[in-house]
Amino acid sequence: MTSNTYMPNTDVGKADLLDHAASTLPHYAAILEVTNEDLASLQADALAFRHILKIMGDMQAYAHHLTEFKNILRDGSAPILGWTVPPMLVEPIPPAVSSGIIPRLSALVAHLKSHKNYTSAIGLDLGLIGTTTVVDPSTWKPSLSAQNKAGHPIIAWTKGAAAAIEIWVDRGEGAGFIFLTINTEPNTTDSEPLPTTSAVWKYKAIYRLHDEQVGHWSDVLSITVGV
């Protein structure tokens, strides 16, 4: 199977695409009959999205620093001179925009590509033509991690291009791995009654596509449950 999309998967990639489109589209505004309102909206969206990513990066870095400060304050592992100061908001603050930046961009791109004057050369210049990649399901392998909900294991996994995931469990009772469930959306809670004594439950999973197993089994995930 193949995949061809111009839309990046990451927020940084989406911000880069917004910036590029906002700076490049004015050169084609007349030939593609793009209104001044649409250009202004795109440019405002690009500024707003880049701004929120910058704020998030600063706040995440501060959260890490704050955790270190808390640990020092708690444990006395180093001297401190005063309270840690949160970062200031990035200036200048761009005008607020309504929610739905990426849906607006997608709608604008669809409009541009349907215009009679649109060409592949224009699309390439605007960054609106993705590269074709071959997706090989035979190489897929789920990566499992554990979460917890009221003591019950939650098997965390990502879907990717698969249709579903098939999960098996070994509860250490001598039966080995047995079928647990097939889920089409992450994540998966194991609602089996918890044992009264400590036990190790093991999980493995494999992706499914077109109602068949594809790829490789995941590594075994072991989770301690019970008292």
**pLDDT given at position 160:** 85
User: What pLDDT, on the 0 to 100 scale, is given for residue 4?
Assistant: 62
Task: Give the whole-angstrom CA distance, residue 69 versus residue 81.
Answer: 11
pLDDT digits (tens, 9 = 90+) for 157-215: 998 889 999 999 999 999 999 999 999 999 999 999 999 889 999 999 999 999 999 99
Are 60 and 121 found together in one domain?
A: yes
Given 133, 167, 202, the domain boundary residue is 133
pTM value is 0.58
Secondary structure of residue 85 in the 3-state scheme = coil
Q: What is the rounded CA–CA span in Å between residue 201 and residue 189?
A: 13
Of 213 and 152, the one with more pLDDT: 213
In this structure, what are the phi and psi dihedrals at residue 5, rounded to the nearest 5 degrees? Answer: -145, 145
Highest mean pLDDT among 8-12, 58-62, 92-96, 217-221: 217-221
State the chain's mean pLDDT as an integer.
91
3-class SS at 148?
Answer: strand
Is residue 22 domain-shared with residue 96, that is, in the same domain?
yes
Side-chain-side CA neighbours of residue 216 (13 Å): 9
Residue type, 206: I
Pair of tokens at residue 49: 């999205």
Closest residue by Cα to residue 123 from 224, 197, 59, 32: 32
Supply the pLDDT for residue 104. 96
pLDDT at 132: 67
- The answer on 154 and 205 residing in a single domain is yes
Judgement on whether residues 71 and 160 belong to the same structural domain of the protein: no
Range of 147's domain? 140-225
